[in-house]
């Protein structure tokens, strides 16, 4: 087995390798003078099971499209090097929010990315917390997809950290929008606490006009759970709504902390007690050192998924069979 990393989140890939007792395979990623991506694999991979780890998001030096092209070229290099299998791990799947045709002549960009990946004849795709379940349907049965979810990490953090400071009787899980009701209600059920929902009204330009809270958060410590935190503008507005309705503390948890634009400024100026993210995407030092932000390492999920794929074990009981899922 050989594990390769793209340039976007090499730190995450190294953590995965350390958990597996492996070293990252050697790969050289560079650019030609005209800006085109240059990939070189110095060592033989003939008849090797290869895994490539690359979130398709921006980094400090590359944008989303750079990440996607780099990944596709790495896959091609491994296929042409006679690898026995090429399995791809995309902790954050870029373009996943563009998963439907919601206006005239709109592209379904997530389907385009899925088609590009499947055209490379990869053997398996592993992702974390897809924005919408239907994205898995963009891939045929020739490309099995495993969608890992970080919810158990959030539950453990709530139990080990948040409930040390607040009581379970005053805890409430609030879905930040209608799309998150299922996840947030499930978490509330596992924690044996109440749940509420924020409904968003949008105008013709898909801009949020106003928000309405369905539920009573007066005197409650509130936790919101979402899959993506981008600029944080909407999340911060939701936080202010909850505070206006009498919430004592407001926590926000997101699987993928993209933190685009002025996200850090929004979080700093918000009433959030704490924002909890994971390391599916790379984070700058100013994020890691931010007083309101905590980043959870979820690399064990990836390492265990890779191990199971390699030895032919099912991923179905991945969460129940090993208590390490709750190691923060």
Residues 141 and 182 in one domain: no
Residues 292 and 185 in one domain: yes
Residues 144 and 198 in one domain: no
Whether 199 and 211 have beta carbons less than 8 Å apart is answered as yes
- CA distance linking residue 94 with residue 303, whole number of Å: 21
Report yes or no on 30 lying in a domain. yes
Burial (Cβ within 10 Å: 0-12, 13-18, ≥19) of residue 207 = exposed
Residue 320 has pLDDT above 80, yes or no: no
Q: Half-sphere exposure (CA, 13 Å, Cβ side) for 311? A: 9
pLDDT of residue 328: 43
Residue 56 has pLDDT above 50, yes or no: yes
Number of helices (H), then strands (E), in the chain: 11, 14
Q: What are 239-266's pLDDT values in tens digits?
A: 999 999 999 999 999 999 999 999 999 9
Residues 179 and 240 in one domain: yes
Report yes or no on 326 lying in a domain. no
What is the CATH number for 268? 3.40.50.2020
Residues 185 and 140 in one domain: no
Pair of tokens at residue 240: 């202010």
Helix residue ranges per DSSP H, 131-232: 151-157, 163-165, 181-191
Whether 49 and 2 have beta carbons less than 8 Å apart is answered as yes
Percent residues over pLDDT 70 in the chain: 95
pLDDT of residue 9: 97
pLDDT of residue 201: 78
Nearest to 124 by CA among 70, 69, 56, 50: 50
State the average pLDDT for the chain: 92
Residues 45-48: contacts with CB under 8 Å, at least 24 apart: 45/2, 45/78, 45/81, 45/82, 45/83, 46/81, 46/82, 46/83, 47/82, 47/83, 47/84, 48/1, 48/2, 48/83, 48/84
Residues 178 and 225 in one domain: yes
Report yes or no on 327 lying in a domain. no
Q: Which residue has the higher pLDDT, 136 or 275?
A: 275
pLDDT of residue 306: 96
Report yes or no on 193 lying in a domain. yes
How many domains are contained in the chain? 2
Residues 89 and 193 in one domain: no
DSSP category for residue 41: -
Residues 144 and 216 in one domain: no
pLDDT of residue 78: 98
End-to-end, the C-alpha distance of the chain in Å comes to 27
Report yes or no on 207 lying in a domain. yes
Q: Half-sphere exposure (CA, 13 Å, Cβ side) for 238? A: 27
Q: How confident is the model at residue 323 (pLDDT cuts 50, 70, 90)?
A: low
Residue 322 has pLDDT above 70, yes or no: no
pLDDT of residue 308: 94
Geometric angle at alpha carbon 123, from 122 and 125, rounded to 5°: 80
Count CB neighbours of 227 within 10 A.
Answer: 21
Residues 106 and 164 in one domain: no
Tell me the whole-structure pTM to 2 decimals.
Answer: 0.93
Residues 166 and 290 in one domain: yes
pLDDT of residue 15: 97
What DSSP string runs through 244-313?
Answer: HTT-SEEEEEEEEE---TTHHHHHHTS--SEEEEESSS---HHHHT-TTEEEE--HHHHHHHHHHHHHT-
Report yes or no on 255 lying in a domain. yes
Report yes or no on 64 lying in a domain. yes
Residues 75 and 128 in one domain: yes
- CA distance linking residue 324 with residue 328, whole number of Å: 9
Report yes or no on 73 lying in a domain. yes
Can you give the residue range of the structural domain that contains 203? Answer: 151-296
Q: What are 121-174's pLDDT values in tens digits?
A: 999 999 999 998 888 889 988 899 999 999 999 999 999 999 998 888 899 999
Q: What are 183-194's pLDDT values in tens digits?
A: 999 999 999 999
Geometric angle at alpha carbon 240, from 235 and 241, rounded to 5°: 95
Residues 124 and 176 in one domain: no
How far apart, in Å, are the Cα atoms of 323 and each of 56, 153, 216, 301? 29, 11, 35, 11
Q: How confident is the model at residue 207 (pLDDT cuts 50, 70, 90)?
A: low
């Amino acid at each position: 087995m050989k594990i390769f990393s793209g340039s976007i989140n090499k730190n995450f890939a190294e953590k995965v390798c350390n958990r597996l007792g492996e070293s990252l395979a050697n790969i050289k990623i560079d650019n030609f003078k005209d800006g085109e991506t240059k990939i070189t694999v110095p060592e033989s991979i003939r008849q090797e099971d290869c895994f490539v780890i690359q979130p398709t998001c921006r980094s400090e030096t590359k944008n989303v499209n750079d990440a996607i092209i780099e990944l596709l070229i790495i896959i091609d290099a491994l296929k042409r090097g006679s690898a026995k299998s090429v399995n791809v791990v995309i902790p954050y799947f870029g373009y996943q929010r563009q998963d439907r045709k919601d206006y005239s002549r709109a592209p379904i960009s997530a389907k385009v990315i899925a088609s590009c990946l499947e055209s490379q004849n990869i053997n398996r795709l592993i992702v974390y917390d897809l924005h919408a379940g239907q994205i898995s349907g963009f891939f045929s049965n020739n490309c099995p997809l495993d969608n890992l979810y970080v919810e158990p990490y959030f539950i453990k953090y709530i139990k080990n950290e948040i409930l040390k400071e607040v009581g379970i009787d005053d805890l409430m899980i609030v879905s930040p929008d209608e799309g998150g009701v299922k996840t947030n209600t499930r978490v509330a059920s596992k924690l044996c606490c109440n749940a509420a929902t924020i409904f968003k009204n949008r105008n013709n330009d898909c801009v949020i006009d106003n928000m309405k809270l369905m539920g009573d958060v007066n005197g409650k410590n509130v936790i919101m759970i979402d899959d993506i935190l981008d600029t944080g503008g909407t999340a911060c507005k939701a936080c202010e709504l909850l505070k206006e309705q009498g919430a004592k503390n407001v926590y926000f948890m997101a699987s993928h902390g993209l933190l685009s634009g002025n996200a850090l400024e929004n979080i700093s100026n918000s009433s959030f007690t704490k924002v909890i993210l994971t390391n599916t995407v790379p984070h700058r030092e100013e994020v890691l050192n931010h007083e309101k932000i905590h980043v959870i390492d979820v690399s064990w999920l990836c390492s265990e998924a890779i191990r199971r794929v390699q030895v032919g074990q099912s991923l179905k009981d991945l969460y129940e069979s090993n208590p390490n899922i709750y190691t923060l």
